[in-house]
């Protein structure tokens, strides 16, 4: 395997910060992060004041800010405080920012000690700080009412990954003389693309290249009194009347109450939707989500594919969501014990090392460990080294589903034993019908989160779902304790009741009953993965569980509005109000929280929480696009 080119690499160059004449300075750009009057004074005078904030906060149920040049996050923290003081009780704030050279978490913590007035907010920010690898990351604060979406990478490329309607812009890059890329015509054009009519903009600089560039991008630019000792600053506005965005409550129907369906329902409910969930079984989490445990760990690969990028962004989001729920709901069963991934072959260790080196994988995401260190982590011998995911965890999905539904309360109505036989369009609504043709529910918006069983819906006939049979085995007692979850060729998860969950098979047949031969496979693979752990046991005496993962041919989920399948138009045409979240396969635990948030944002017209290139990769319309390139092919 060859090393990746810089363009394809996820590697970032972190910020190097030093104190300079009472300010903080970037050693790379030779410029200070804030004016001599102080970072918070600059934030309030230039960025908040220049955009008419916080007064506008008080009039908006939803408000979106874009910052070009996140730096040390001081503008965000000041905005957070101002928004919290002024915004209505049910309001939401979206804050989008790009940064090519983000600070390390430890450097951020050091800097924040100089701002005790921001201590509460800065500690929360540092606790959720994303991995320093390129990508788009969504963080949440204030119980989800503030969403911070950070794009690490070149400013222009990062802005192109955003989809949003921005109300106010902070242009806060280093000076044009030292950082020309931040002040280009192309960048101003991207800012203009993202802003709503009447949106405002403020920046500390008054350089001619900035004034002219903003004017050419369509902004009306004026100078205003600056923050002393600087005489002037710039403010700008996009033509048009700015109108505050209001919440638009609608009825939504989610079909399926597994992990994807429950999380999507909760994300829609928090945006004002009245949500009904129809579940065909007699309880939520009856299919794959009913497994006693699943593993939370990222996927790393040499090419840094869409799957790896989605995994990297989704892993941190999932951990933060689960930890937040577990903190307030003791019913969530999970354990952040760490996950050890043992290389399946000797040559795989070298490939793992190349991934770390070429992509700059930070140790807080994954660390390469030797065979000796892997053995110490696993509490016993292993055949070789591999990746150690210190923040890796196991989770019982059903407990997360129950906690999510409890948090939503009466905003979500779950109706069990309600199998939907078909959907029909009735004016502006969809109608869910049972086998007898009786109406089960109607709504303007429907989300198909059925996992397997999608074939009954004619509207989703172009979606290829491949059921993958997986059998787990439960080992009553091991020969020694297993302190962490271990995966590789097979896996072993220590359960709270002292048993070990061994897994898992991957077959294409539809046999629902446990097979002794599959227990034997699980025992054999884990015995090779963790020598000395598995006792001699009669496989026929073991308990276990069979579930069928819903997978896609390209191993990526389907998330988004369903397309029309028969249209001859060159562009993609969507079926109105009909969405899908499905095909999450073996990575459902990691992917589900972020993809559910993305789908809710897409449907509610909120800023997207993931890169638009990843949204394209998981769009169900990718099937239509491939069919247009190759007539007759419905499946990916």
Render 170-221 in DSSP notation, one character per residue. EE-PSPTTT-GGGG-HHHHHHHHHHEEEEEEEEES---HHHHHHHHHTT-EE
Pull the structure tokens for residue 239: 């033509």
- Determine the Cα–Cα distance for residues 171 and 605; give it in Å rounded to an integer: 24
Q: Is 410 left (phi over 0), alpha (psi -120 to 50) or beta?
A: alpha
Residues in the chain: 636
Could you tell me which residue, 1 or 508, shows the higher pLDDT? 508
The mean pLDDT value for 504-529 works out to: 97
- Determine the Cα–Cα distance for residues 446 and 256; give it in Å rounded to an integer: 11
> pLDDT tens digits, residue range 160-212?
999 999 999 999 876 776 667 789 999 999 999 999 999 999 999 999 999 99
Q: Which residues contact 376 (CB under 8 A, 6 or more apart)?
A: none
Percent above pLDDT 90 for the chain: 88
The mean pLDDT value for 620-624 works out to: 92
**Cβ–Cβ < 8 Å for 366, 389:** yes
Q: Which residues contact 489 (CB under 8 A, 6 or more apart)?
A: 342, 344, 525, 528, 529
Q: How far is CA 437 from CA 185, 282, 550, in A?
A: 58, 21, 27
> pLDDT tens digits, residue range 289-302?
999 999 999 999 99
**Cβ–Cβ < 8 Å for 352, 359:** no
pLDDT tops 90 at residue 220: yes
Residue listed under structure tokens 């138009």 = 569
The mean pLDDT value for 129-140 works out to: 97
The mean pLDDT value for 376-402 works out to: 98
pLDDT tops 80 at residue 581: yes
> pLDDT tens digits, residue range 464-491?
999 999 999 999 999 999 999 999 999 9
Maximum distance among all alpha carbons in the chain?
A: 82
Residue listed under structure tokens 């129907």 = 253
The mean pLDDT value for 430-458 works out to: 97
Torsion, CA 468, CA 469, CA 474, CA 480, rounded to 10: -50
- Determine the Cα–Cα distance for residues 359 and 362; give it in Å rounded to an integer: 9
The mean pLDDT value for 20-28 works out to: 55
The mean pLDDT value for 352-366 works out to: 96
DSSP assignment of 365-427, as one string? T-EEE-HHHHHHHHTS--SS-EEEETT-EEE-HHHHHHHHHHHHGGGEEEE-S----EEEEET
- Determine the Cα–Cα distance for residues 363 and 357; give it in Å rounded to an integer: 11
CA-closest candidate to residue 97, choices 120, 115, 74: 74
- Determine the Cα–Cα distance for residues 168 and 236; give it in Å rounded to an integer: 10
Please report, in angstroms and rounded to a whole number, the separation of the first and last CA atoms in the chain.
27
- Determine the Cα–Cα distance for residues 467 and 469; give it in Å rounded to an integer: 6
The mean pLDDT value for 493-518 works out to: 96
The mean pLDDT value for 418-429 works out to: 97
Q: Which residues contact 587 (CB under 8 A, 6 or more apart)?
A: 299, 307, 311
pLDDT at residue 19 in the model = 63
Q: Which residues contact 143 (CB under 8 A, 6 or more apart)?
A: none
pLDDT at residue 248 in the model = 74
- Determine the Cα–Cα distance for residues 197 and 411; give it in Å rounded to an integer: 33
The model's pTM is 0.94
- Determine the Cα–Cα distance for residues 360 and 353; give it in Å rounded to an integer: 10
Identify the structural domains of the chain with CATH numbers, from first to last: 17-237 (3.40.50.150), 251-287+398-465+553-629 (3.50.50.60), 466-550 (3.30.9.10)
Q: Is 433 left (phi over 0), alpha (psi -120 to 50) or beta?
A: beta
pLDDT at residue 24 in the model = 64
**Cβ–Cβ < 8 Å for 504, 518:** no
pLDDT tops 70 at residue 36: no
DSSP assignment of 115-150, as one string? -GGGHHHHHHHHHTPPPSBSEEEEEEEGGGTEEEEE
CA-closest candidate to residue 447, choices 412, 477, 473, 480: 412
Residue listed under structure tokens 């989703």 = 460
């Amino acid at each position: 395997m060859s090393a990746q080119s810089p363009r394809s690499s996820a590697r970032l160059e972190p910020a190097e910060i030093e104190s300079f004449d009472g300010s903080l300075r970037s050693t790379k750009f030779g410029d200070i992060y804030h004016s001599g009057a102080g970072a918070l004074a600059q934030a309030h005078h230039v960025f908040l004041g220049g955009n008419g904030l916080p007064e506008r906060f008080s009039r908006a149920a939803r408000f979106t800010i874009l910052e070009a040049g996140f730096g040390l996050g001081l503008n965000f923290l000041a905005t957070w405080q101002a928004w919290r003081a002024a915004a209505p009780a049910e309001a939401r704030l979206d804050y989008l920012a790009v940064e090519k050279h983000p600070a390390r978490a430890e450097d951020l913590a050091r800097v924040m000690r100089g701002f005790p007035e921001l201590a509460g907010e800065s500690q929360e920010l540092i606790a959720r700080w994303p991995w320093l690898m390129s990508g788009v990351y969504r963080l949440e604060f204030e119980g989800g009412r503030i969403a911070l979406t950070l794009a690490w990478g070149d400013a222009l490329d990062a802005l192109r990954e955003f989809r949003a309607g921005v109300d106010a812009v902070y242009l806060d890059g280093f000076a044009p003389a030292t950082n020309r890329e931040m002040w280009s015509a192309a960048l101003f054009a991207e800012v203009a693309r993202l802003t709503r009519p009447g949106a405002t903009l403020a920046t500390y600089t008054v350089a001619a290249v900035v004034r002219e560039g903003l004017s050419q991008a369509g902004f009306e630019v004026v100078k205003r009194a600056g923050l002393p000792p600087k005489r002037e600053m710039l403010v700008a506005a996009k033509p048009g009347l700015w109108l505050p965005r209001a919440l638009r409550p609608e009825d939504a129907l989610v079909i399926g109450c597994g992990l994807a369906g429950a999380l999507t329902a909760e994300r829609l409910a928090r945006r004002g939707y009245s949500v009904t969930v129809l579940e065909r079984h007699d309880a939520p989490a009856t299919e794959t989500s009913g497994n006693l445990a699943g593993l939370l760990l990222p996927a790393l690969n040499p090419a840094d594919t869409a799957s790896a990028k989605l995994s990297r962004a989704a892993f941190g989001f999932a951990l933060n969501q689960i930890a937040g729920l577990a903190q307030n709901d003791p019913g969530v069963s999970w354990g952040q014990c760490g996950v050890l991934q043992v290389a399946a072959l000797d040559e795989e260790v070298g490939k793992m090392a190349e991934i770390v080196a070429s992509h700059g994988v930070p140790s807080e995401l994954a660390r390469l460990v030797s065979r000796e260190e892997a053995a110490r982590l696993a509490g016993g011998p292993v055949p070789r080294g591999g990746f150690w995911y210190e923040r890796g965890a196991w989770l019982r999905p059903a407990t997360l589903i129950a906690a999510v539904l409890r948090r939503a309360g009466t905003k979500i109505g779950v109706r069990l034993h309600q199998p939907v036989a078909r959907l029909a369009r009735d004016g502006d609504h969809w109608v869910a019908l049972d086998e007898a043709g009786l109406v089960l529910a109607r709504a303007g918006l429907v989300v198909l989160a059925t996992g397997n069983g999608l074939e009954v819906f004619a509207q989703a006939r172009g979606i290829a779902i491949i059921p993958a049979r997986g059998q787990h085995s439960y080992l009553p007692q091991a020969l020694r304790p297993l302190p962490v979850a271990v995966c590789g060729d097979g896996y072993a998860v220590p359960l709270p009741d002292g048993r070990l969950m061994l897994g898992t098979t991957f077959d294409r047949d539809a046999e629902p009953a446990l097979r002794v031969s599959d227990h034997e496979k699980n025992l054999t693979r884990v015995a090779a993965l963790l020598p000395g752990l598995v006792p001699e046991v009669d496989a026929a005496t073991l308990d276990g569980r069979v579930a069928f993962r819903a997978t896609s041919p390209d191993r990526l989920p389907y998330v988004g509005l369903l397309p029309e399948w028969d249209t001859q138009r060159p562009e993609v045409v969507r079926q109105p109000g009909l969405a899908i979240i499905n095909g999450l396969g073996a990575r459902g635990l990691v992917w589900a929280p972020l993809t559910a948030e993305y789908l809710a944002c897409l449907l509610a017209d909120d800023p997207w929480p993931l890169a638009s290139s990843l949204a394209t990769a998981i769009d169900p319309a990718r099937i239509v696009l491939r069919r247009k390139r190759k007539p007759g092919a419905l499946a990916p």
